[in-house]
């Protein structure tokens, strides 16, 4: 009996080694992410996520992307990319591009960015980034110009195209309400939490499929008369590319670890997502 058990164990070893090798290869090529699973983190490499910012990230965002825990998780902040340097060959060097800090963007850059996402690229857009073009500042929105960013954005600024009044970042306090409670971005059991930051008001896109991940309930309770404000949305109508939109700067909430963990989860999710 003992000999039979030993033979069974010996015959199982090759299968176990093959399974371990398969997991390692799948993680290496980003088919799965098991670096955070107890017992498997030793054989699973951390995700390699190359992130570049087009625009001017806030200092808080730069600190977040350069932080030690982000580096341990596999995030490589590749720095800022000027619009003059935005062309397809350059964008292919990055896993995720982040638009932040510049309202006015070059039409050519906008087209290259949109084409990249349509071809399977992953992007995060924060607040009002790239909502204007250099040669006509009287219009506003991601649907302005050629190669429209609006073709890949899950949101639009208001319901207008002409800038009758400037886009405003409004200071809002209330409760961060998670809608997509089973979404990979949000940790299991994540509860709603207190929110206070500057927000750009948007609506879901009528062109691209949108999934509302979270919104902000203004005021101190659900009886407030102030309307709720969209906080996070993701695109759903693209074949392989993916865009996640933040109406606020998530780096501003790092004091509570809410923005820090949420944004890291967003990067990890985008790295492994398929449309």
Q: What is the pLDDT of residues 214-266, one digit of tens each?
A: 999 987 665 566 788 999 999 997 778 999 999 999 998 755 566 688 899 99
Q: What is the 3-state secondary structure (H, E, C) of the chain?
A: CHHHHHHHHHHHHHHHHHHHHHHHHHHHCCCCCCCCCCCCCCCCCCCCEEEEEEECCCHHHHHHHCCHHHHHCCEEEEEEECHHHCCHHHHCCCCEEEEECCCEECHHHHHHHHHHHHCCCEEEEECCCCCEECCECCECCCCCCCCCHHHCCCEECCCCCECCCCCCEEEEEEEEEECCCCCCCCCCCCCCEEEEEEEECCEECCCCCEEEEEEEEECCCCCCCCCCEEEEEEECCCCCCEEEEECCCHHHHHHHCHHHHHHHHHHHHHHHCCC
What's the confidence (pLDDT) of residue 275?
57
Mean pLDDT, range 21-35, rounded to an integer: 47
Mean pLDDT, range 150-160, rounded to an integer: 80
| pLDDT tens digits, one per residue of 37-79 | 444 444 455 568 999 999 999 999 999 999 999 999 999 999 9
Asked which of 35-44, 50-59, 146-155, 198-207 is least confident by mean pLDDT, the reply is 35-44
Q: What percent of the chain has pLDDT over 90?
A: 43
What's the confidence (pLDDT) of residue 148?
82
What's the confidence (pLDDT) of residue 144?
74
**Which of 109 and 245 is assigned the larger pLDDT?**
245
Asked which of 20-24, 121-125, 217-221 is least confident by mean pLDDT, the reply is 20-24
What's the confidence (pLDDT) of residue 258?
67
Average pLDDT, the chain: 80
Q: 0.85 exceeded by the pTM? A: no
Mean pLDDT, range 129-142, rounded to an integer: 82
**Which of 113 and 83 is assigned the larger pLDDT?**
113
Mean pLDDT, range 83-97, rounded to an integer: 87
Confidence of residue 4 (pLDDT cuts 50, 70, 90): low
What's the confidence (pLDDT) of residue 23?
47
Mean pLDDT, range 146-157, rounded to an integer: 85
What's the confidence (pLDDT) of residue 232?
96
**Which of 45 and 88 is assigned the larger pLDDT?**
88
């Amino acid at each position: 009996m003992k000999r039979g058990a030993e033979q069974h164990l010996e015959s199982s070893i090759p299968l176990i080694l093959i399974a371990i090798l398969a997991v390692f290869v799948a993680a290496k090529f980003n088919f799965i992410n098991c670096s955070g699973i107890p017992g498997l983190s030793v054989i699973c490499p951390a995700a390699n996520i190359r992130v570049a910012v087009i625009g001017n990230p806030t200092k808080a965002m730069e600190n977040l992307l350069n932080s030690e825990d982000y580096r341990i998780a596999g995030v490589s902040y590749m720095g800022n990319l000027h619009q003059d340097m935005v062309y397809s060959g350059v964008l292919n060097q990055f896993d995720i591009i982040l638009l932040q800090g510049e309202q006015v963007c070059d039409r050519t850059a906008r087209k290259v960015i949109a084409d990249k996402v349509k071809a399977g690229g992953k992007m995060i857009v924060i607040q009002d980034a790239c909502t204007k073009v250099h040669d006509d500042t009287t219009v506003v929105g991601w649907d302005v110009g050629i190669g429209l960013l609006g073709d890949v954005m899950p949101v639009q600024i208001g319901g207008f195209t002409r800038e009758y009044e400037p886009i405003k970042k409004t200071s809002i306090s209330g409760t961060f309400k998670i809608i997509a409670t089973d979404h990979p971005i949000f940790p299991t059991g994540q509860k709603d939490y207190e929110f206070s930051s500057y927000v750009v008001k948007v609506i879901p896109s009528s062109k691209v499929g949108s999934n509302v991940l979270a919104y902000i309930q203004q005021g101190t309770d659900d009886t407030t008369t102030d309307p709720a404000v969209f906080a996070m949305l993701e695109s759903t109508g693209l074949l392989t590319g993916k865009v996640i939109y933040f109406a606020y700067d998530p780096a501003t909430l790092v004091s509570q670890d809410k923005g820090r963990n949420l944004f890291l989860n967003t990067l990890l999710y985008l790295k492994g997502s398929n449309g």
